[in-house]
């Protein structure tokens, strides 16, 4: 397991135990997990974003901390927020992370995840020029997510 996965799982456990709100001292957490503090920053900035349903606040200095709050919103509102955050193009790797997070948070089912993943994969776009794939992928991803919202 990668260190970033270990850090993310540890923070998720902290959030679960604290009811969705955790304060982290970056250096202490790095010491506990045996990693460098910048690894903590990387995980927080890449996996605990507003698009993924988190608010992150930080206070610098000796008594500084990073506070992560899981935002509980209506499922439809959350999905539409994600749709609106997807730009004009998206690489498969970023789209897959979004789908994984949506599945983890119960916004979409495993079946929806698999179906959308297949529809936006590079295998599905084998006959599409490479420079157009990410644009097409963003459009298909957004349309499929909107369809999920509208149909339920």
Residue with token string 């698009």: 51
Domains along the sequence of the chain with CATH: 3-70 (3.30.56.130), 75-151 (1.10.1200)
- Report d(CA 32, CA 30) in Å as an integer: 5
Cα 54 to the chain's mean position, in Å? Answer: 9
pLDDT tier at 50 (50, 70, 90 boundaries)? confident
> 89-132: per-residue pLDDT in tens?
999 999 999 999 899 888 899 999 999 999 999 999 999 999 99
> 69-80: per-residue pLDDT in tens?
987 667 888 888
Integer-rounded Cα radius of gyration of the chain: 17
Pairing verdict, β 21-24 and 54-59 = unpaired
């Amino acid at each position: 397991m990668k260190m970033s996965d270990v850090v993310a799982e540890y923070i998720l456990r902290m959030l679960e135990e604290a009811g969705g709100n955790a304060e982290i001292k970056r250096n202490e957490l790095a010491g506990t997990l045996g990693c460098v503090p910048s690894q903590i920053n990387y995980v927080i900035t890449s996996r605990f974003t507003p698009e993924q349903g988190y608010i992150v606040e930080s206070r610098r200095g000796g008594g500084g901390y990073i506070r992560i709050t899981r935002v509980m919103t209506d499922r439809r509102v959350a999905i539409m927020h994600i749709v609106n955050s997807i730009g004009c193009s998206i690489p498969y790797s970023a789209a897959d992370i979004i789908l994984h997070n949506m599945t983890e948070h119960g916004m979409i089912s495993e079946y929806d995840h698999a179906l959308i993943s297949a529809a936006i994969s590079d295998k599905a776009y084998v006959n599409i020029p490479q420079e157009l794939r990410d644009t097409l992928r963003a459009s298909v991803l957004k349309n499929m997510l909107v369809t999920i919202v509208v149909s339920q």
